[in-house]
Structures are given as C-alpha cells and as structure tokens.
Amino acid sequence: MEYELLEWPPDGPKLRLDHERFSYAGKFVMTNTGKAVARADDGRVVGAVAFNEDRTDADTLWLRYVTVDRERRGEGIGPRLCRLVRDRAIDRGYERLRIAVNNPFAYEALYRTGFAYTGETTGIAELVLEYPAPSTDADTKWNERERYQAGLEEFRDRDLSDEEETFLDARRDSEPPGSGKSSR
C-alpha cells in the first residue's frame, strides 16, 4: 500500500472516484481542496482524503471528506491517510486540524489518529473533532474518557443501523482508543 499527499489547497487535483465504490465520490473532483490517496499495489486508489484551510483561521486545516473503497473498509486505510495529512499539515505549520464526522465508525477511526471530540456539532449534526486533542486539564468540562463517551452518546441518540448500535454498545464505558495519543 502506498500513501501519497497529492497537492495542497487551493490547487488540488481533480480526483475521479467510482461512486459505486466510494462515498462522497463527487466531492473529490473539486480542485479547491488538497488531496491525499492510498493506492493498492496495483496502483488503484483505495482511499482518499480531501482537505482545505479554514476560511477564518489560516492556522487550521479541515479534513473535509475521507473515503475508502467499500471492499477495503475496516483495514485501517482511512486512519493511515488521516495520519499522513495530519503529520504533513503540522510540518507545514498548521496548528490544528479539524474534521466533522457523521457516524460512530468515522468517530472511532479519527480517535485512533489522535483527534478528540470538541463538544461541538455542525448544523447538519456532525460531531467536530480536533487535533491536537483539546485540553483535558482541571479547568475543562471533561477528562479524556468523558470526552470520548460524550461523543459516542451523541450518536446513541440517533436512528442507527444494527451494526452501529452493536458498535456503540461494545464501547459503552470504555476508554478512548489509545493508539493515537502518541502516534506523532
């Protein structure tokens, strides 16, 4: 597997993805977002991330869309791509990265990449996560475990698939995934 950052915004390439294999495929043809991809050994794209700078804060980069080939989900491709973009963005001088997620699987994947729930949601009910993780000192409203569980609780209050309910039940009262804490 090869992971590659193709270009930074606003000069991102058009990336044509098969809408039957990838969610959000149409969003990757926009050229105002940077792109990173994961390629299988045969050169075929199996994952992609689109990202751009925050409109009001030049120190913040937003991961806008993360997609993995439906047949390759669950292999860790999305988190590895997000780590690549995260590390290159920090090296490039961005102070923080943010992403809004709409399902518990994406939430967990981003936690594994070192992002954490901010307590914010977007107008379309997505949960906002940030890297580096927001502070968890005595002056904040949550410790790490409470922060992680608060985000999971947001999803529990929604109309979920059986798979999502099982996923959330398995994480009730658990600690956040630890692999992202010192992955930089």
- Please report, for the domain that includes residue 20, its CATH number: 3.40.630.30
- Same domain, yes or no: 165 and 83: no
Please give the Cα distance from 30 to 123 (Å, whole number): 22
- Same domain, yes or no: 81 and 118: no
Q: Which one of 94, 129, 158 terminates a domain?
A: 94
Q: Which long-range contacts (CB under 8 A, 24 or more apart) does 44-49 make?
A: 45/15, 45/17, 45/69, 46/1, 46/72, 46/77, 47/72, 47/77, 47/78, 47/81, 48/15, 48/17, 48/22, 48/81, 49/78, 49/81, 49/82, 49/85
Q: Which one of 29, 61, 94 terminates a domain?
A: 94
- Same domain, yes or no: 6 and 19: yes
- Same domain, yes or no: 53 and 3: yes
- Same domain, yes or no: 140 and 87: no
Please give the Cα distance from 24 to 51 (Å, whole number): 13
pLDDT of residue 182: 35
User: Whole-prediction pTM value?
Assistant: 0.89
Please give the Cα distance from 89 to 102 (Å, whole number): 23
Please give the Cα distance from 66 to 15 (Å, whole number): 13
pLDDT per residue, tens digit, the chain (184 aa), is 999 999 999 989 999 999 999 999 999 999 999 999 999 999 999 999 999 999 999 999 999 999 999 999 999 999 999 999 999 999 999 999 999 999 999 999 999 999 999 999 998 889 999 999 887 655 566 788 999 999 999 999 899 999 999 999 999 999 998 733 333 3
- Same domain, yes or no: 41 and 68: yes
- Same domain, yes or no: 134 and 111: yes
Domain count, the chain: 2
* Domain around 117: 97-184
- Same domain, yes or no: 90 and 2: yes
